[in-house]
Structure 1
């Protein structure tokens, strides 16, 4: 579980630890041992190398992501675009996950494995009707393409691996808090239960999909 310190990530860890089918649950973030920092490829590679002796994993979920931060909020117009925000958002939402794909996919069990990364419906190009949120939308669209492309490659080398972009919906966490997330979102444990139920029902033929927490297929 990557991004285990966030609201959704921590809820994933708790849910999986309570599942009798899970023998081992590993939560990773900057403060764990091994530490994992998505902005540092050496950290990602070292974390994968440290976990490799533990054996193959059946589920890898990345719940880390960036929508806003100190000094910036999602851009509402072209005039708000700036290099620092674009780089920070793409590093967290696309480049870091790409490094996870590179270094962690070899750790997946060849008999049956799920690799899910939290994306967002606002990253759908086909569903974009409101505009705005430039760097977040674009970084999640980039993540979707990375996952769709990785699914094609892994379908050849690891045909039983399911790779999906997963939309969690609005969840009451720090990420959504500035946008009425606490009012309209679901508690993290409810959202995670829904996402795990959807993931549990996926088959290898679903690899390369963009799915919502309720199993709905979303347009790219």
Structure 2
């Protein structure tokens, strides 16, 4: 859905690791910043013979690209591990230890990167991911100290259910604004502009009240 939306907007979407996609383009984070939270999916699997609706969930985190000047990471706090990647990318990927696992000792955060052919590139990706996650933790801390509910700001907590995708009824419901959209198939196909615009307007108005 997000990769297709990026294509519609003319942005670049690249896979950094399993379940991690980097989207680059003018206004990308501004448009996607409210996608963080738990997304619930209701659908009838093709293997379901009795027409029963199955429910699954996926947690989304939308993080901006953070520069070194914004979040300093002490090299002494890092623990690097290198291993052979099992993914695509040419023979070099599978013959040498190009994949990276990075652990930030003070926070316990662990990130991995293995999509690039060269270790140095994956090291850079892992460090960028870590920096963004540390930024997110700091943002949560500041919000808590100020007594701000993340749901009011609009960016959902990781455990907060923000949206339901009901495929049998072709309906998407965003619970933060109590609004349903009856064009789910179009949204999944990347046509998210109406949804993004409505969320941005509604949540920005809520946070300024």
Query: Which structure: greater strand fraction?
Result: 2
| Greater gyration radius | 2
Query: Which structure: greater helix fraction?
Result: 1
TM-score (norm 2): 0.27
